[in-house]
């Protein structure tokens, strides 16, 4: 059994003051209340540094963990029971973990009070959804109006080889030397490496305000705890708003090797960039990895060209085994973004101009019926096919690591996907290659949560 500790702490960094009504809602232990959500996300933060993608195993290990919000005259306190001892040093919680725990509290409360239970935002419309994403990020302090564009979003797998991980650090290092900041999904693997490399580079450049922004959502953070480098954490209410947050705040995107989650992100991004309204908006996108990743990106490239057409290839470049070249390409791309937004008098901190079709915003619940009903054929308009492929990969991610998806697979068997024969063959080859390369799970044998046919 792991060591556990109980303690009472004060939040630090955000939302130190709550109303009595907010405290009461957080203390509600009913199934429909916020308490379970707060408990799940809080445990993920306290368990950071533990390399696992099995959220259920973590919850079972710390089944007796609990968090209680206490209201006092001078603010609030958090009472933790049976928390992971690794979050403490000599009985005192590590400061970075305390800040991330406060971010969890802030986002859970704000999203519930201002987004989900109010009529302030119409989440059935594109404009309302984009405004909601903006306000969540602003509440979190993630929008920095006084800074020039510098935020590079890095996507890639949590389950990658040591060589690939070291490569992500090298790239992050050369980005950091060129005064660029890092935003990732905040977990391990390709989400941690760029931050670690940039952290060293920022220290060399005496850049004291380096940003290591992690953007997650409740279903993911429970399985992929924030890595220790993250100094800003935002938890969006669902995967679609998380993806929109990436493309709204990021000034360029790097894609490292990954699995279905990375494929989902690529399809989301390209589906947006291929929209006619976005054709003239500069947005640098680079796929990169070490020499042994060349075949991985060749397969991705072939799949994208077949499903989305040759135009998709014009929206990204592939650079293999060249950390310096990647950093230089991203620096040039972000300089173009800066000049474009300056000419258009656009905000540097939030990409309002980017058009995101409603198919990419509407939350997708990956049930067995919803997965089986996905239309996957090339007769669809490109943006619709990209959206449905993104949903298919999102469902596989849910079946792999999200507790609700894992339970659905256990109860009803694997999800079933159907597509036209040639697309099915190519999809099968791509997914099989992910399994063969060990990109689905951090440890243990992988049992597919899907069938094709």
Higher pLDDT, 171 or 295: 171
The per-residue pLDDT for 433 is 85
Give the model confidence (pLDDT) of 330-350 as tens digits.
Answer: 999 999 999 999 999 999 999
State the average pLDDT for the chain.
Answer: 89
> Which is more confidently placed, 61 or 379?
379
The DSSP bridge pattern shows strands 232-235 and 212-216 to be parallel
Looking at the chain, how many residues does it have? 453
Give tens-digit pLDDT for 60-88. Answer: 788 899 998 887 766 788 899 999 999 99
Arithmetic mean of pLDDT, 424-443:
80
pLDDT over threshold 70, residue 46: yes
Q: Quote the pLDDT of residue 348.
A: 97
- pLDDT confidence tier of residue 223, bands split at 50, 70 and 90: confident
For the chain, what are the domain ranges?
Answer: 4-114, 148-344, 358-452
- Whether residue 303 is predicted with pLDDT greater than 90 in this model: the reply is yes
Residue 31 pLDDT greater than 50, yes or no = no
Does the pLDDT value for residue 182 go beyond 70?
yes
Give the pLDDT of residue 251: 98
Overall average pLDDT of the 408-426 stretch: 91
d(CA 373, CA 388): 10
Q: Once rounded to an integer, what is the mean pLDDT over residues 250-273?
A: 94
Say what percent of the chain tops pLDDT 70.
93
**pLDDT recorded at residue 442:** 59
Residue-level pLDDT at 57: 73
CATH class of 4-114: alpha beta
| Res 53 pLDDT > 80 | no
CATH of 148-344, one of 3.40.50.450, 3.90.105.10, 3.30.2320.20, 1.10.287.610: 3.40.50.450
Listed ranges 180-184, 263-267, 364-368, 374-378; the one with the highest mean pLDDT: 180-184
């Amino acid at each position: 059994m792991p060591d556990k500790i109980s303690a009472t702490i004060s939040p630090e960094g955000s939302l130190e003051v709550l109303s009595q009504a907010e405290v009461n809602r957080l203390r509600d232990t009913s199934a429909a209340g916020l308490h379970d959500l707060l408990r799940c996300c809080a445990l993920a933060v306290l368990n950071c540094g533990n390399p696992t993608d099995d959220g259920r195993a973590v919850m079972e290990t710390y089944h007796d963990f609990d968090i209680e919000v206490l209201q006092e005259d001078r603010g609030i306190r958090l009472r933790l029971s049976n928390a992971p001892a690794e979050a403490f040093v000599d009985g005192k919680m590590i400061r970075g973990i305390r800040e991330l725990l406060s971010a969890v509290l802030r986002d859970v409360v704000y999203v519930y009070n201002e987004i989900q239970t109010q009529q302030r935002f119409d989440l059935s419309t594109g404009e309302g959804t984009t405004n909601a994403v903006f306000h969540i990020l602003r509440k979190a302090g993630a929008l920095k109006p006084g800074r020039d564009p510098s935020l590079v979003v890095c996507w890639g797998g949590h389950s990658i080889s040591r060589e690939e991980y070291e490569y992500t650090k090298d790239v992050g290092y050369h980005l950091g030397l060129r005064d660029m900041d890092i935003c990732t999904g905040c977990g391990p693997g390709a989400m941690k490496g760029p931050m670690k490399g940039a952290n060293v580079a920022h220290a060399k450049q005496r850049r004291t305000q380096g940003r290591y922004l992690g953007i997650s959502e409740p279903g993911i953070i429970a399985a992929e705890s924030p890595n220790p480098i993250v100094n800003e954490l935002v938890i969006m209410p669902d995967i679609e708003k998380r993806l929109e947050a990436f493309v709204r705040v990021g000034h360029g995107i790097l894609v490292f090797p990954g699995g279905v989650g990375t494929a989902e992100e690529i399809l989301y991004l390209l589906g947006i960039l291929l929209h006619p309204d976005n054709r003239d908006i500069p947005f640098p996108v680079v796929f990169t990895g070490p020499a042994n990743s060349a075949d991985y990106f060749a397969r991705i490239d072939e799949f994208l060209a077949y499903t989305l057409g040759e135009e998709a290839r014009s929206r990204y470049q592939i650079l293999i085994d060249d950390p310096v070249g990647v950093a230089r390409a991203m620096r040039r791309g972000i300089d173009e973004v800066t000049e474009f937004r300056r000419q258009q008098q656009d905000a540097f901190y939030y990409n309002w101009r980017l058009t995101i079709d409603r198919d990419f915003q509407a939350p997708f619940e990956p049930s067995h019926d919803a997965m089986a009903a996905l239309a996957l054929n090339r007769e669809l308009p490109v943006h619709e096919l990209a959206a449905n492929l993104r949903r298919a990969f999102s469902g596989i991610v849910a079946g792999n690591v999200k507790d609700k998806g894992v339970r659905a697979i256990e109860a009803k068997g694997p999800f079933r996907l159907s597509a036209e024969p040639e697309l099915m063959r190519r999809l099968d080859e791509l997914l099989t290659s992910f399994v063969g390369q060990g990109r689905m799970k951090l440890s243990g044998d992988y049992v597919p949560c899907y069938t094709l046919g």
